[in-house]
Amino acid sequence: MAMNFDPFRELDRVAGAFLDTRRGPRLMPMDLYRDGDHYVLAADLPGIDPGSVDIDVDGQLLTIRAERTLTTGEGVSWLAKERESGSFLRQLNLGQGIDTENITAHYDNGVLSVTIPVSEKAKPRKIAVGSASERRDEATLQVNEAS
């Protein structure tokens, strides 16, 4: 098995691990876009067990949590260990005009996709423009029906 070893890269990785004071949850890179009547959030979570993903909505706050655990066996001798294990966290303020009851999610090929629908009240709509003569005709019709 051929291995490409770069001592400077390895030193940088080890120094980064020791000097990293941020041992809390890691951020997950994501894209967010609007597609018609819904928003789509796509977050990179490679190597995550879909069962470890937790998505919840509290008011207008969407929280995504995930856990990556690396399997280790007894007697394992690592040749390279660059993938980090740990917790991932992302929180988004959804704002107004979101249908929080119908948010859906699926995980495929290392990408978590969350579909966030726009509420009916927030969707664009057309307003019909009437004329004064139409209102007079409606008023006359209502008076005649009442008689």
Q: How confident is the model over 65-98, as pLDDT tens digits?
A: 999 887 777 888 878 877 778 888 999 998 888 8
98 falls within a domain: yes
Question: Is 62 domain-assigned?
Answer: yes
**Which of 51, 75, 54 minimizes the C-alpha distance to 65?**
54
- For residues 121 and 119, give the distance between their C-alpha atoms in angstroms, rounded to a whole number: 5
Q: Are 31 and 112 in contact (CB under 8 A)?
A: no
User: 45 lies in a domain?
Assistant: yes
Please, what is the end-to-end C-alpha distance for the chain in angstroms?
Answer: 96
31 or 96, which is more confident: 31
Please report how many Cα atoms fall inside a 13 Å half-sphere around the Cα of residue 83, on the Cβ side.
Answer: 13
State how far the Cα of 45 lies from the Cα of 105, in Å rounded to an integer: 13
CATH number at residue 111: 2.60.40.790
Does any domain span residue 118? yes
pLDDT of residue 133: 73
Give the domain range for residue 46: 25-70+84-124
pLDDT at residue 16 greater than cutoff 70 = no
Rg (CA), the chain: 27
What SS3 class is residue 18?
helix
Q: Answer yes or no: is pLDDT of 104 > 70.
A: yes
Average confidence score pLDDT of the chain: 80
* Higher local confidence (pLDDT), 8 or 47: 47
Residue 47 domain flag: yes
Structural domain tally of the chain?
1
Count the Cβ atoms, other than its own, within 10 Å of residue 64: 21
- Residue 65 included in any domain: yes
